Chain A
Amino acid sequence: MEIGYFPGCSLHSTAQEFDLSVKTVCDILGVRLMEIPDWNCCGASAAHETSEELGLALPYLDLVKAETANLETVLSPCPACFSHLAETHEKVVGDQTLGERLKSVTESRGYEGGVNNRHVLDYFMDDVGLGTIKEKVKTPLEGLKVACYYGCLTRLPGVNLDSVEHPEMMDKIVAALGAEAMDWTHKTECCGASLSITRTEIALRLGREILDAAQRAGADCVAVVCPLCQSNLDVRQAGINGKYKTAFSLPIVYLTQLMGVAFGAPKSQLGFDKHVVAPDVLKKY
């Protein structure tokens, strides 16, 4: 099977291990990923904050490119990219005038509404299914305690995946891998990544609260599905320890990396060398 793939800017740079592990896992599941040809940035929140139309035009262009390449399903691992594509799709499908306007703004051939947007969570949960995931597990992650961290994902516009306040999709996938998904208090708290560079102290404060909650829950690692959550909690962990005199050493791993390990993929194909906090806890699997 072949589906479309929209890595977005982060998966090409700071979140290469996400990119790598998504590809590895999909490969094991027999899913071929075809990158949207010549995709462009979704615009993130910066485009939207400047111009509403620009915020829609950039993801619109990606939808056009996907449709042109006959990609019916597009997998966007980054929640921000996914939200922007899904929201733009929703708006354009529901409003012809807007569609016409965006077509003219982007000077493109126009988007017909033929793309089915997927995030890794609903793709693995609904399209692939827990049954198939269980079947593929070669090394069950027995004894591994995982705090599944969703951040703002479930609240983003265009995203309609799971319970907004108490999501469980990732937990269910993690449990299917044989690991223990911890019930914890900060699943959906904001990590402050968008202020990570400009107001670092805020990101450190929020990151500390999340790591603290994960540690209290007894987690060995935190599973994420967002490149910003990952880099904010992983790369900034030393900063948090420095500022708050804490001693966190919690690996922040992508869900797909855990899947890869459980599926028996070589660790070299999962990008563990990219982590700042070494995920040693996964060595035994």
Chain B
Amino acid sequence: MTESSQDENIEVFTYSEIENIEGFIGNFDVTIRKKARSVDMAKCTGCGECVQKCPTKVPSEFDMGLGKRKAIYTPFAQAVPNVPVIDRDHCLKFLKDKCGVCQKVCPADAVDYTQKDEMVQRKVGAIIVATGFSLFDWTVYEEYGGGRYKDVITGLHLERMLDTSGPTEGKVIRPSDGREAKQIVFVQCVGSRDEAKGVPYCSRICCMYTAKQTILLKDHIPDSQSYVFYIDIRAAGKNYEEFVKKAQRESGTVYIRGRVSKIYDRGDKLIVQGADTLAGERVEIEADLVVLATAVVPNPDAVKLAQMLNMPYDQYGFYTEAHPKLQPVESVTAGVFLTGSCQFPKDIPDSVAMTGAASVRACAVFSQDELTIEPKIAWVDPEVCSGCFNCMEACPFDAIISEEYQGRYVARVRESVCHGCGNCAATCRTKAVNVKGFTDEEIYAQIEAPFFEEEVEVA
């Protein structure tokens, strides 16, 4: 991140949102909202004095609420740029017009409470969507406590605890009483592979990060014991199976084949009610800490972005690639590429590979002066077009524009945007629109051919 932020050809917008995208491949107009940071990026030196002196503490989002951050903060130590932001929902200056300490202590005079959101425009030729994923809200599982037990956490919470520079400095503790956890139960497929309460698909990453976490746990706490309740171990990657075996053989992780039915507390232990379907027995484990592998789901606003980009998405909200096998990093919209888990759950190697592919595809757009487009696209005969623009409404890709032709306005298809779906042709009342290669005449000819076989002359 640091390297790319310093590259002269790369402009990084952090703490910013895409407001609007118009145009088409090679000619996108992007409106970006730079949210008010309340710190002048040009002046700030990143000394951190303001953060240190800020009196307001807020649960840290990055640390999953396990640690605190200040009201003026950088989300994590290596964040780029190293310029803090003021959280206006918690800052005393904004809430009660009090304090103002950060401004007083800033040696660079960079703190600016009056800063406003700023809109900036950029022209880009290609767009790579890498918006990532969210985690399934597991509290719908009332049988797992529905969020009432502090010591039932998610894999991401544990990930933060295992980080030596994280909120617990690498200690794995029970959030309820701060005691070190010794008996740890991992529950796989929480939300995943559950058509009733969650999503039907497999989230793909949980088996491996869970195996990793059990290995790390054994390293951090040698007298700890991990149990993993699983349905199937999905370790289909290079060295993945071996890695799971390492967890089982070297770290002593016990895998129990069965989905957990209920978690409840008894004294200071959590009772995990499960079964081992291989042994044919119902089992219970008295746990100090329960770690849920929650499903990977699309971001809550994924659909909004898809609509901005005229880009299809699936029933869950994951972005749809142009072809599942042959065009895995292209979206249907020309010039828009996909990478990472915004398309479907992906682990790090897959995401990295996909990002390389998407970047190269984007470069390919720029490497030529002219674009090759699909031959089967729509065309409007301006002589026939009555200018009703019904086709414009029908087009799912925003490919039709209004254009002056001999003193009146008619529809025109932007060739680089059209996908040849034919909606416009079907909608047009004057038959002014046709898809090249699928004109009405051509279709009629095809229908007639089998019925008048003897009359067909072979040229």
Is there direct touching of A and B in the complex, by C-beta distance under 8 Å?
yes
Q: Decide: B143 and A185 in contact? CB cutoff 8 A.
A: no
List residues of chain A with CB within 8 A of the CB of B142.
Answer: 163-166
A165 to B143, CA, bound (A): 6
Q: Mark B139-168, 1 if CB is under 8 A from A, else 0.
A: 000110010100000000000000000000
Are A216 and B266 closer than 8 Å at their CB atoms? yes
Can you show 15 pairs from A to B with CB atoms below 8 A apart? Answer: A163-B142, A164-B142, A165-B142, A165-B143, A165-B146, A166-B142, A166-B146, A183-B148, A185-B264, A185-B265, A185-B266, A186-B264, A213-B266, A216-B266, A216-B267
CB distance from A215 to the nearest CB of B (A): 12
Considering only residues 182-202 of chain A, those with a C-beta below 8 Å from chain B are: 183, 185-186
Which B residues are in CB contact (< 8 Å) with A183? 148
Chain B residues within 8 Å of A165, by CB? 142-143, 146
Nearest CB of A to B14, in Å: 41
Q: Report the minimum CB–CB distance from A190 to chain B (whole Å).
A: 12
Chain A residue with minimal CB distance to B149?
A: A185
Identify the closest chain A residue to B265 (Cβ).
Answer: A185
User: Which residues of A come within 8 Å of B, CB atoms?
Assistant: 163-166, 183, 185-186, 213, 216
| Cβ contacts under 8 Å, B146 to chain A | 165-166
Residues of B within 8 A of A186 (CB): 264
**Chain B CB within 10 Å — which of A166, A185, A186 has the most?**
A185
CA distance A183 to B148 in the complex (A): 10
Known contacts A166-B146, A185-B265, A216-B266; 11 further A-B pairs (Cβ under 8 A): A164-B142, A165-B142, A165-B143, A165-B146, A166-B142, A183-B148, A185-B264, A185-B266, A186-B264, A213-B266, A216-B267
Write the B115-128 contact mask toward A (1 if CB under 8 angstroms, else 0): 00000000000000
Nearest neighbor of B143 in chain A, beta-carbon distance: A165
Q: Which residues of B contact A216 (CB under 8 A)?
A: 266-267
Interface string of B259-273 (1 = CB under 8 A from A): 000001111000000
Cα–Cα distance between A164 and B143 once the two chains are bound (Å): 9
Q: What CA separation (Å) do A163 and B264 show in the bound complex?
A: 17
**Which residues of chain A have C-beta atoms less than 8 A from B148's C-beta?**
183
* B264 contact set on A, CB distance < 8 A: 185-186
Q: How far is the CB of B375 from chain A (nearest CB, A)?
A: 54
Determine the distance from Cα of A185 to Cα of B265 in the docked complex, in whole angstroms: 7
Q: What separation, in Å, do the CA atoms of A20 and B142 have in the docked complex?
A: 35
Q: Complex Cα distance A163/B267, Å?
A: 25
Task: Determine the distance from Cα of A161 to Cα of B4 in the docked complex, in whole angstroms.
Answer: 57
Distance from A8 Cβ to chain B, minimum over Cβ atoms (Å): 29
Among A163, A165, A216, which residue has the most Cβ atoms of chain B within 10 A? A165
Chain B residues with Cβ under 8 A from A213's Cβ?
266
Give Cα A186–Cα B264 distance, bound, in whole angstroms: 9
> Could you tell me the distance in whole angstroms from the C-beta of B285 to the nearest C-beta in chain A?
15
- Enumerate the 6 nearest inter-chain pairs by beta-carbon distance, A residue then B residue, closest first: A165-B142, A185-B264, A166-B142, A165-B143, A166-B146, A163-B142
* Chain B contacts for A185, CB-based, 8 A: 264-266
